[in-house]
C-alpha cells in the first residue's frame, strides 16, 4: 500500500493550526505541525495557515525562515497551500491602516481592506471557480466559510507573462461589497482566502483534491 503524502503545517504562531491538521489527517495525509525548516522543505506538501494582521503574519513567517522555505519549494516545483492570511502574504504587499507591508511576492498585487457595508466578511459564501479547476472539481456550486477584512481585488499579470516559468494562474472569485480573489491555483502554489478546514464537506473535498495531487 502506498504511504500517505507527508504534509507539514507551518507552525509560526499565527493560525488556527489544529483544525487544519485534523482536516488534513481526515483526508488521508500524514501531518506534522512544526516550524522546522528542513521538515517543511522536505515534506510532500507545505500548508501556510494565517490568521490576523498581514504585517504580524509576515514577521512570524520571517522569524522561522518560512519566506525562504516557500521560495525554495516553489522554485523546485514542490506544492504549497496558503490559507486565509497565508494566501494574502503570497501577494506583493498588504496595506493595513495606511501602512504598506511587503509580502512574499509570489504574485503581483495588493491586499487591501474590503469595501463593504459590513466588515469583516464572516460566514458562508459562494465562489466562482474557473474552467478546469482541479481544487474545485465537482464543487462549483458549493459554499465556503470566510472570515476576513482584507482581500486582493485582482492579480495583475506582468506584460511578459508569456516568459514566466509558470502558466497564468487560475483565479476563483467571490463577492463582498465587490469582487475579490477567493482562491488561486498557480502551478505548485495554491491558496484559498476562505478556510477549507471550517467549510464542512466541501472544504474537506477541496483539501482531498490538494492532498491527492501530492501522491
Active site residues: 84, 195, 197
Prior bond of 45 cis (ω within 30°): no
Q: Which three cell numbers stand for residue 51?
A: 490568521
Q: In what order do the strands lie in the sheet with 99-102?
A: 99-102, 91-96, 107-113, 150-152
CA distance 62 to 58: 6
Q: Which long-range contacts (CB under 8 A, 24 or more apart) does 109-113 make?
A: 109/152, 109/154, 109/155, 109/156, 109/181, 110/152, 111/54, 111/150, 111/151, 111/152, 112/150, 112/151, 112/152, 112/153, 113/149, 113/150
**Is residue 96 a contact partner of residue 55, using CB atoms and an 8 Å limit?**
yes
Residues with Cβ within 8 Å of residue 69, at least 6 apart in sequence: 10, 37, 40, 41, 46
Residue written as cell 511587503?
A: 102
Amino acid at each position: 500500500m502506498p504511504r500517505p503524502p507527508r504534509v507539514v503545517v507551518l507552525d509560526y504562531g499565527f493560525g488556527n493550526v489544529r483544525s487544519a491538521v485534523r482536516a488534513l489527517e481526515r483526508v488521508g495525509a500524514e501531518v506534522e505541525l512544526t516550524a522546522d525548516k528542513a521538515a517543511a522543505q522536505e515534506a510532500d506538501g507545505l500548508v501556510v495557515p494565517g490568521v490576523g494582521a498581514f504585517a504580524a503574519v509576515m514577521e512570524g513567517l520571517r522569524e522561522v525562515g518560512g519566506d525562504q522555505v516557500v521560495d525554495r519549494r516553489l522554485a523546485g516545483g514542490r506544492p504549497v497551500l496558503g490559507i486565509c492570511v497565508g494566501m494574502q502574504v503570497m501577494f506583493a504587499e498588504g496595506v493595513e491602516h495606511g501602512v504598506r507591508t511587503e509580502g512574499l511576492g509570489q504574485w503581483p498585487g495588493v491586499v487591501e481592506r474590503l469595501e463593504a457595508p459590513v466588515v469583516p466578511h464572516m460566514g458562508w459564501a459562494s465562489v466562482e471557480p474557473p474552467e478546469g479547476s482541479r481544487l474545485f472539481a465537482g464543487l462549483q456550486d458549493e459554499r465556503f466559510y470566510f472570515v476576513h477584512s482584507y482581500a486582493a481585488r485582482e492579480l495583475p499579470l506582468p506584460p511578459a507573462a508569456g516568459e514566466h516559468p509558470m502558466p497564468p494562474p487560475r483565479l476563483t472569485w467571490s463577492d463582498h461589497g465587490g469582487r475579490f480573489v477567493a482562491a488561486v491555483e498557480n502551478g505548485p502554489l495554491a491558496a484559498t482566502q476562505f478556510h477549507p478546514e471550517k467549510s464542512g464537506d466541501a472544504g474537506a473535498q477541496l483539501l482531498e483534491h490538494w492532498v491527492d495531487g501530492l501522491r
